[in-house]
Amino acid sequence: MKNFPPQTIGYVVKMFPRLSETFIRNEILELERQGLALRIFSLKRPTEAETRLAGGDVQAPVTYLPERVYREPLRVLRAQLGVLWRYPRGYRRMLLHVLRRREMSSLGRGLRRFCQTCCLVHERGQVEHLHAHFASDPTRLASWAQMICHSSYSITTHAKDLYQDDRISSPGLRNKLSLARFVVANSNYSAAGLRAIFNGEAPTKIFTIYNSVDLAAFPRRVSQSSEPLILSVGRLVEKKGFADLIKACRLLKDWGVNFNCEIVGSGPLAASLGDCIAKLDLERTVKLRGQRPHQELSNHYLNAMVFALPCVVAANGDRDILPNVLKEAMAVGVPVVTTRLEGIEELVTHEETGLLTNSGDIQGLAKSLQRLLTDPELRRRLADQARQLIEKRFNLQANFARLRHLLGEMIEERAVPIIHNQKTKV
């Protein structure tokens, strides 16, 4: 394995750790296993409960940037003065950019992000390259840091930061993408969408690197579950389609199908989904299990006969592309039912690695669930082929080796002037 200079890559994230973003933690863990030194800059500090549920054995130090100036005034002042002294032109240029509200609708929010950026630049130590997860505020800080001190940055995009409120068409996003050294999309569908905004002539390199599964953490189970349990996992938000799943469960009950359903997760729709369960008289059959530590998910998968995630496109455009829970269920050997949406079909092929229904088709969803609950041979065949696909296309070690190589190239490029200066002095 190639040895890189000792500089560190800075990961800029919204919150770390975060239960709904364990894919970032898994990525960091794998990059560390592959020898990359990382440092995490988090825009928000998680609650103790969030840390307990989502925590892992990450070695990278985490710097929590100040969420409110009044809580850490001396730290913010030191950063402002330090950056002004070291990068006076960049500091003034960036401050003027913020005051003119070229990006932020709220001046207060813009100044808060500016203070966070100054803290990042002032406290970054050996970090010369930043990698931002999500093309929203983390990318904003990375691009602002570049404007101040000329550090390079790259981006990993996700479905929410591209498709919610049609952000992919935003001129500001297009500008930030064009200044990045490279951009990672987590599906071919998203990568094609990113290239399309540049009319096929993107000024930066765009790569597809799938969020992947740690096969050691999710081994193939030895045997199928004998209990007719339908499992679903995710944040209780519109795009997951949990309301459709509950309605499909009502049809299964009307058809006399023997089953139970558990939905693991928390979110803003918890109350309305609970009301839907009560209204459809499903309290004994469908259970909302709340948030659970990521480490416990393996046991839930082992107990499930079927995994269902009937994703939809939310009213604001937000959608799932390649949900990690689908990959984890497929890795364990739980046959899956999901919907035909762009991106998801890169993971699930109908009748080969799972069953697909049309988004919003509740009766079709119920029929697919009934097929799997009553046909053990179909479950076995789909589970076998799904595991093979995960091993081939969504292997954590193989996919993130590509990302490590890209980030390693950034380290080498930033190290060239340092090495040259050292030789000159000698």
Report yes or no on 280 lying in a domain.
Answer: yes
**What is the structure's pLDDT at 414?**
67
Distance CA 94, CA 88 (A): 10
Q: Are residues 98 and 244 in the same domain?
A: no
Report yes or no on 222 lying in a domain.
Answer: no
Q: Are residues 385 and 407 in the same domain?
A: no
Distance CA 362, CA 360 (A): 6
Q: Are residues 207 and 236 in the same domain?
A: no
Report yes or no on 221 lying in a domain.
Answer: no
**What is the structure's pLDDT at 19?**
82
Q: Please return the burial class of 417, using the count of CB atoms within 10 Å of its CB with bins 0-12, 13-18 and 19+.
A: exposed
Q: Are residues 180 and 294 in the same domain?
A: no
- Asked whether the beta carbons of 63 and 42 are under 8 A apart, the reply is yes
C-alpha 207: how far from chain center? 16
Report yes or no on 1 lying in a domain.
Answer: no
Tokens in use for 424? 């000159």
Q: Are residues 291 and 410 in the same domain?
A: no
Tallying the residues shown for the chain, one arrives at 426
CA torsion, ordered 339, 344, 349, 354, to nearest 10 deg? -60
Q: Are residues 298 and 284 in the same domain?
A: yes
Q: pLDDT of the chain along its 426 residues, tens only?
A: 344 445 689 999 999 998 888 889 999 999 999 999 999 999 999 988 777 777 668 899 999 999 998 899 999 999 999 999 999 999 999 999 998 876 777 888 899 999 999 999 999 998 989 999 999 999 999 999 999 999 999 999 998 888 888 888 888 888 999 999 999 999 999 999 999 888 867 778 999 999 999 898 899 999 999 999 999 999 999 999 999 999 999 999 999 999 999 999 999 999 999 999 999 999 999 999 998 877 788 889 999 999 999 999 999 999 998 999 999 999 999 999 999 998 899 999 999 999 999 999 999 999 999 999 999 999 999 999 999 999 999 999 999 999 999 999 998 886 655 444 434 333
Q: Are residues 158 and 288 in the same domain?
A: no
Report yes or no on 259 lying in a domain.
Answer: yes
Report yes or no on 223 lying in a domain.
Answer: no
Q: Are residues 129 and 187 in the same domain?
A: yes
Domain containing residue 271 = 229-393
- Please report, for the domain that includes residue 147, its CATH number: 3.40.50.2000
- Asked whether the beta carbons of 115 and 123 are under 8 A apart, the reply is no
Report yes or no on 219 lying in a domain.
Answer: no
Q: Are residues 19 and 166 in the same domain?
A: yes
Tokens in use for 279? 């209204």
- Only one residue has tokens 């989502």, namely 54
C-alpha 306: how far from chain center? 24
Which three-class secondary structure string do you get for 68-131?
CHHHCHHHHHHHHHHHHHHCHHHHHHHHHHHHCCCCCCCHHHHHHHHHHHHHHHHHCCCEEEEE
Q: Please return the burial class of 67, using the count of CB atoms within 10 Å of its CB with bins 0-12, 13-18 and 19+.
A: middle
Q: Are residues 170 and 287 in the same domain?
A: no
Phi, psi of 204 (to 5 degrees): -125, 160
Q: Are residues 20 and 92 in the same domain?
A: yes
pTM of the predicted structure, to 2 decimals: 0.89
**What is the structure's pLDDT at 152?**
95
Q: Are residues 311 and 168 in the same domain?
A: no
Q: Please report, as a single letter, which amino acid is at residue 60.
A: A
How many folded domains does the chain comprise?
A: 2
Alpha helices (H) in 255-352, listed in sequence order: 270-279, 297-303, 324-332
- Asked whether the beta carbons of 61 and 9 are under 8 A apart, the reply is no
Q: What is the DSSP string of 392-417?
A: HH-BHHHHHHHHHHHHHHHHHHHHHH
Report yes or no on 246 lying in a domain.
Answer: yes
Please, which residues have CB within 8 angstroms of residue 5's CB and are 6 or more apart in sequence?
411, 412, 415, 418, 419
